[in-house]
Amino acid sequence: MVYEITHWIDGGEVAGSGSTQPVLNPATNEQVGTLHLADAATVDRAVQVATAAQREWAQVSLSRRTQILYRMRELMIEHTDEIASVITREHGKTLADARGEIARGLETLEFATSITQDLKGGFSANVSTGVDAHTLRQPLGVVAGITPFNFPAMVPFWMHPVAIATGNAFVLKPSERDPSASNIVARLYQQAGLPDGVFQVVHGGKTVVDALCTHDGIAAVSFVGSTPIAQHVHATASGAGKRVQALGGANNHAVVMPDANIEFAAAQVASGAFGSAGERCMAVPVAVTVGDAHQRFLTAIRAEAEKLVVGPGDVEGTDMPPVITPDARERVIRMTDEAEQAGATILVDGRGLVVEGFEEGNFVGPIVITDLDRSHPTYTDEVFGPVLVVMHVNNFDEAIELVNSSPFGNGTAIFTDSGHYARRFEDEVQVGMIGINVPIPTPVGYYSFGGWKNSLFGEHHAHGPEGVSFYTRQKAVTTRWPAQNETVESSMSFPTHD
């Protein structure tokens, strides 16, 4: 039974422009949903509704906002299985992985329930005789979020709880590949008591993104996705005068030192490389082996990769799910073919994998490549699939140089027993998020998430304290209350404090 996925505007389902596109199950490539696509008029309607709703929402007390967020947290926990099964059906990832991303998304909601603390301004009494100073932070107005397919629950949750808690209205444009989780979230916000229009969902692709990035009623845009689209969104929305944070792609390196526990490192790197079929922005597609760690690591990673069970995400025992589309599968195979033609060794070769009963699905097995030149695109580009390239260097300095030569700077990790090298690594890599013996160092919700270089365009990282600062702007107020009979001689010189 193919279901309809409409927009969520002004507290209800809205069909939009009339054009649609299919939503497919990656394990079978069967159509499961029909997605309604918005046009510029649908976007305009959502922004008008949001504008009216935000004026009232900004006046709602912090205490009431917090109560709604607490209720939302309870509802999300109650509905975790429903949301996880929709994510698995449309994205393909395992149910356990889908539940995990919902839990990680809830960290940001939990952070947002303490907004009473984060919106406290500063106050200084008597900065000059009889003069006080204080600051406050106010919402921006209507803000938009544009999100990728690989985390249909968690990545939107990096944005909307903080935007809403700080008094904004939020318009979400999720990925058109797995859109349904966002509509469930909209329904739950309504049940939690959020006024209609404060959280809305519009579906579609480039037309909707460009309409949001240029609409006069939108004050800020948060984007997460690939680097070329992040650059496009950053340029378009900044050009239209909006505040923008645009998080882009990645090619994260894990350095394995000779003193590391190699079995531990290989198990951790395998989880980073092959979990969710490598379709995570904090995946580990590159291992950098230092000195004599190389051969030991190859033996261990091969064992880890070969024991993985590949299958549909809703089948018990599956370790690695399909990739998102037939194109994504073909890209993984083509980039592996090209590496092989350039002389690389394919140590583990998942190209020919067939999952019985799911022959039409987008399955490919784990792939481990070594002996690849550092200029080859299979190493330098983001493959975004279950492919691990193992690069060998002679020493720690060469490892740092290799990590820093990447145009991306999202995440990186080092596996070592040496505090000295761990400390140097943390200091010298040009990367936003660093793991020490941790392969996927995604910061918890009360810190902020963001990379460097081509992994982030804009000043602010996502969620946590940087999220509060992104979705608000400061006012500084200077106050004097002279007595009714007080007289002061007027002065034309610039005021100094005494």
Active-site amino acid positions: 281
User: What would the DSSP string read from start to end of 429-491?
Assistant: ---SEEEES-SS-PPPTTS-B--EETTEESSPPBSHHHHHHHTEEEEEEEEE---TT------
Shortest separation between residue 251's beta carbon and ligand NAD, angstroms: 9
Up-side HSE of residue 454: CA atoms within 13 Å toward CB?
Answer: 17
The H or E element spanning position 161 is helix 154-165
Nearest position to ligand NAD, beta carbon: 225
Shortest separation between residue 322's beta carbon and ligand NAD, angstroms: 15
Query: Which residue's structure tokens are 């509060």?
Result: 468
The rounded distance, in Å, linking the Cα atoms of 379 and 338 is 11
Up-side HSE of residue 194: CA atoms within 13 Å toward CB?
Answer: 32
The H or E element spanning position 69 is helix 62-78
- Is the CB of 195 or the CB of 205 nearer to ligand NAD? 205
Up-side HSE of residue 116: CA atoms within 13 Å toward CB?
Answer: 11
Shortest separation between residue 206's beta carbon and ligand NAD, angstroms: 4
The bridge status of strand 31-36 relative to strand 472-480 is unpaired
Token code pair at residue 125: 């009494």
Contact 89, 25 (CB under 8 A): yes
The rounded distance, in Å, linking the Cα atoms of 173 and 7 is 10
- Is the CB of 176 or the CB of 349 nearer to ligand NAD? 176
Residues lying near ligand NAD in the complex (CB under 6 A) are found at 146-151, 155, 173, 175-176, 205-206, 209, 224-226, 229, 232, 247-250, 281, 382, 384, 410, 451, 455
- Is the CB of 229 or the CB of 367 nearer to ligand NAD? 229
- Is the CB of 363 or the CB of 384 nearer to ligand NAD? 384
Contact 347, 302 (CB under 8 A): yes
- Is the CB of 11 or the CB of 248 nearer to ligand NAD? 248
Contact 203, 46 (CB under 8 A): no
Q: Residue 476's beta-bridge partner residues?
A: 135
Shortest separation between residue 464's beta carbon and ligand NAD, angstroms: 13
- Is the CB of 33 or the CB of 258 nearer to ligand NAD? 33
Shortest separation between residue 55's beta carbon and ligand NAD, angstroms: 28
Contacts of 203 (CB under 8 A, 6+ apart): 5, 6, 7, 16, 35, 36, 37, 38, 173, 174, 176, 179
Shortest separation between residue 247's beta carbon and ligand NAD, angstroms: 4
User: What would the DSSP string read from start to end of 5-59?
Assistant: E-EEETTEEE-TTS-EEEEE-TTT--EEEEEEPP-HHHHHHHHHHHHHHHHHHTT
Shortest separation between residue 309's beta carbon and ligand NAD, angstroms: 24
Shortest separation between residue 377's beta carbon and ligand NAD, angstroms: 15
- Is the CB of 258 or the CB of 451 nearer to ligand NAD? 451
Contact 73, 109 (CB under 8 A): yes
Phi, psi of 273 (to 5 degrees): -80, -35
Helix-helix angle 95-112:154-165, to 10 degrees: 10
- Is the CB of 19 or the CB of 128 nearer to ligand NAD? 19
